[in-house]
Amino acid sequence: MTDKSPILPKSPDIAGNPQENALYYGNNLSPNSRRLQILFVSLVVIMVGINIGLSMDQGIKHGANYFMLGISLIGFVVIEIILILFIRKGELPPEKTWFLYFVGGCVILESIFTDVLLYQ
């Protein structure tokens, strides 16, 4: 195994696929699926942005513990970004995109719970 070889070997039917090296992953999705994907990602980004803004506001007013709640959420977002990069580079099969939605749902839930803790 060399440094450039993927962790999971690619199946022969994917090897000749022009979508493999596409600039944007998921170009073969239907328009409705693509819209739902963009809507989900934008919802996660909005929730994280609101949460970080509120935690910074409460951190300035009441102390660093509130600010750390927002920072902990960034850790989960980094994990999701790493998973997205793995799927786009072919390290993980595209059939595992459900896990990205699961992690995104967990990020949304953590944002809600953190907002509740911030204004308890």
User: What CA–CA distance (Å, rounded) separates 6 from 9?
Assistant: 6
Please tell me the predicted confidence (pLDDT) of residue 23: 47
User: What CA–CA distance (Å, rounded) separates 65 from 36?
Assistant: 35
- Asked whether the beta carbons of 51 and 76 are under 8 A apart, the reply is no
Name the percent of the chain lying above pLDDT 90.
12
Q: Where are the domains of the chain?
A: 29-118
User: What CA–CA distance (Å, rounded) separates 72 from 70?
Assistant: 5
Residue of 114 and 26 predicted with greater confidence:
114
- pLDDT tens for 51-105 read 999 898 888 888 888 888 888 888 888 888 888 788 778 787 777 778 888 989 9
Please tell me the predicted confidence (pLDDT) of residue 7: 62
